[in-house]
Structure 1
Amino acid sequence: MKKLPTPARRTNLSASLAVLAVVAAGGVGTTAAWAQNYPITAQQRATAQQTAQAGVPLSELAPNAPDEYTVKPGDTLWAISRLYLLRPWRWPELWGMNINEIANPHRIYPGQVLYLDKSGGRARLTTRRGAGGEGGTIKLTPRTRFDSLSGMALPTLNPSLIEPFLSEPIVVDENTLQAAPRIVAGNDSRVLLSRGDRAYARGEKDSPLVEVPGPLQHYRVFRNATPLKDPGTGEILGYEAQYLGKVRLQRGESTTVETKDDKDYITVVPATVDVIAAREEIRAGDRLLPEPPRQLLSYAPRAPSTQVGGRIVSVYGNAVQFAAQNQVVAINKGTRDGIDSGHVLAILKNGETILDRTGEKKETIKLPNERIGLLMVFRPFEKVSYALVLEINDTPRAGDFIVNP
């Protein structure tokens, strides 16, 4: 538990409210991974401040939006957004979040009560009954607040749906896996390794696999970096490495020197690793990448602030062509395109090109692109991002378009 003092102050309520959606891939001692800060123009800032004051039109509210709602364990920010809004990605506007607060907003916890204010023909959501209205202020008296560090804040999405993808699939450049340490053999001449087996590994010549002071080091095991190719341009956006499992380094690499016939012969002794998790069988040649720090990802569901036009690159999984609801896809947009965790995008089915045989002469025509669902980005890389399919009324597939919702 962490003891946090809260000073007395007066604040404009409608300008200060914000929300945090935390997907906790770890607990006490985790490191916060904040979203990348993109440049904010004066016009964007003015628009954000105006939106925070204005709320959303009453026409944007869901038909049965409750006037009062108590946040429950198991709720997600997306579910509450759908409870209140026809278009849930407008949650930041309903909540009065400005553009600066999106990357690091405040928390919503189970047990908090949300109140819907409909004054002035606009809707706003607050945590204080009757706090709406222009210029409304509240006075906070000095008090001590105890804040749990165990990741109790409301997540944006069901953590069980995306937590494995925060660590397992990884997008790397062409040379990353080639330069990584590799499994060279299994104990007792084992060819295929699973959980509980011991194996031996080596680093490259200039970077041997050695121990460092502190806790035992953990590595993830990968194989077969598959190129992710842009469906439109053919550009290689990165290489998706196949996750196999985890190992723990028990002993680092070393060398022995044996003198024979007045000559010194140096023999390399590979590092010793134990397999502590295995999704698939591990074998010689598989590569090791260091286990990164477990992270807290902060984001809220929202539409991108700029126009996005992209494609679904692939559906995650071996030889999977079509995506279902709650399935993960890769898209051809990343941080270089301004994509961030929490961005919601619409999926457009790529209309088929067909031969029209109904007229006097046969003609090739293309059917229109139809909107078939929504997805939310949860793990962006430079040129590609992983996103969760939230809603569908048809079956998305690789090559379908993604646009602003």
Structure 2
Amino acid sequence: MRKPIIAMILFLSLFSIPPVNADNNLLRSDTPHRHVVVPGDTLWGIAARFLNDPWRWPEIWGFNRDQVKNPHRIYPGDIVILRRTPYGFRLSLEDNEDEVRTVKLSPKIRSELSDTAAIPSIPAAAIEPFLSQPLVIERDGLDNAPYILGSSDNRVVLSTGNTAYISGLPKDKGSTWQIFRPGKALKDPDQKDQIIGYEATYLGNAKAIALANVSTVTITRATEEILKGDRLVPAPKTIFNNYAPHAPDFPVNGRIISVYGGITEIGKGAIVTLNKGQMDGLEMGHVLAIFRKSQDKSLTGELVQLPDERTGLAFVFRVFDKISYALVVQSTHSIKILDAVKTP
């Protein structure tokens, strides 16, 4: 028999939440009775097959977000089944022996190693480059970091495979490094453009091959031109967490203050920067609705503020003190910098 499906960590009983009724607009009108998980699926995508609002999947799984930070361990080949119970609709998983198990909390792990990884909340490839890069720094935060002196052949621009000489590279921080350049200031439009952080520009990776007063490194990856004076920081461990999508249980009123790549029109798949962070209660996995403020002229020619128009959804995947990064997972209209983000 296939390894037991121990799908979630520390789950509460399914009976601890109110029943999900068919008339509360939670379920889609065309929701399937079952879905076979395949490679490439995401928790968000599966939830969208069953629910009008994918972030509300905890209501039908019985998810307690106060205790569970990584609640899903769903693998390709698992079968997600929608069932009607006396307590409302519930989702369960079925293994390949046709044994149905309701998903409950259990402080256990999968009983065997699997050849396939658990499906992520959202497409990992879209955000992976942002998960191990310290994108937000303090003012002058890179001033004391090791820096590139130059190369043996006096190259002006360094790229993948080139050798570079580094000043100030410590011997006790490992051999893998990331290369950054001080970037733009991030301002809060709701606080009179107060600077709330600085965004460092990620340039690539380097590997130390000789440590001395002047150390030698090889550029192992270059995403942009690397120049003399660019700074190095130790490469951190990847911090990818499959935090489940869920709406904040408190009001959020923030704004999009920047977008990766400098584009002005933002759509699905874009990485955006928000002016709210951990100090405002945001956490990885929070889903926020995006709204655009609209104005129009009245018959007298005066500008009239129209009701905010919802234009998309954003999934928060990295949080700093005052700033967060989010992936736009849905867009119905073009999204712009300074558009609002709110609790959906």
Common fold: TM-score over 0.5: yes
CA distance in 1, matches of 2:81, 2:178: 45
Contact 1:227–1:239 under 8 Å retained in 2 = yes
Quote how far apart the aligned CAs of 1:186 are: 1.7
Aligned to 1:335: 278
CA distance in 1, matches of 2:195, 2:185: 6
Is residue 2:284 matched to residue 1:344?
no
Out of 152, 163, 176, the residue aligned to residue 218 of structure 1 is: 176
Aligned to 2:246: 302
Q: How many residues are paired up?
A: 329
CA distance in 2, matches of 1:274, 1:177: 21
Counterpart residue identity of residue 201, structure 2: Q
Change (3 A) 1:187 1:56: farther
Contact 1:373–1:390 under 8 Å retained in 2 = yes
TM normalised by structure 2 equals 0.87
CA distance in 2, matches of 1:61, 1:223: 47
Is residue 2:127 matched to residue 1:162?
yes
Quote how far apart the aligned CAs of 1:92 are: 1.0
Aligned to 1:172: 137
User: Percent identity, aligned pairs only?
Assistant: 39
Where does the alignment leave 5 or more consecutive residues of structure 1 unmatched?
7-15, 21-47, 204-208, 255-269
Out of 195, 204, 209, the residue aligned to residue 245 of structure 1 is: 204
Matches within 5 A, 1:4-403: 18=8, 52-59=16-23, 60-120=26-86, 122-127=88-93, 145-148=111-114, 152-168=117-133, 170-203=135-168, 209-212=169-172, 217-233=175-191, 234-254=193-213, 270-317=214-261, 319-352=262-295, 355-356=297-298, 358-359=299-300, 362-403=301-342
Contact 1:68–1:113 under 8 Å retained in 2 = yes
CA distance in 1, matches of 2:307, 2:75: 43
SS at match of 1:248: strand
Larger radius of gyration: 1
Deviations 1:219-239 (A, max 9, x none): 111113211111211221211
Where does the alignment leave 5 or more consecutive residues of structure 2 unmatched?
none
Quote how far apart the aligned CAs of 1:101 are: 3.7
Higher mean C-alpha displacement, 83-92 vs 55-64: 55-64
Question: Aligned-residue CA RMSD in angstroms?
Answer: 2.8
Q: Which has the higher contact order (CA 8 A, sep 6+)?
A: 1
CA distance in 2, matches of 1:299, 1:52: 21
SS at match of 1:299: coil
SS at match of 1:82: helix
Change (3 A) 1:79 1:65: same
Deviations 1:202-223 (A, max 9, x none): 12xxxxx13239xx61111111
Counterpart residue identity of residue 172, structure 2: V
CA distance in 1, matches of 2:203, 2:19: 47
Change (3 A) 1:17 1:289: closer
Change (3 A) 1:55 1:285: farther
Change (3 A) 1:156 1:100: same
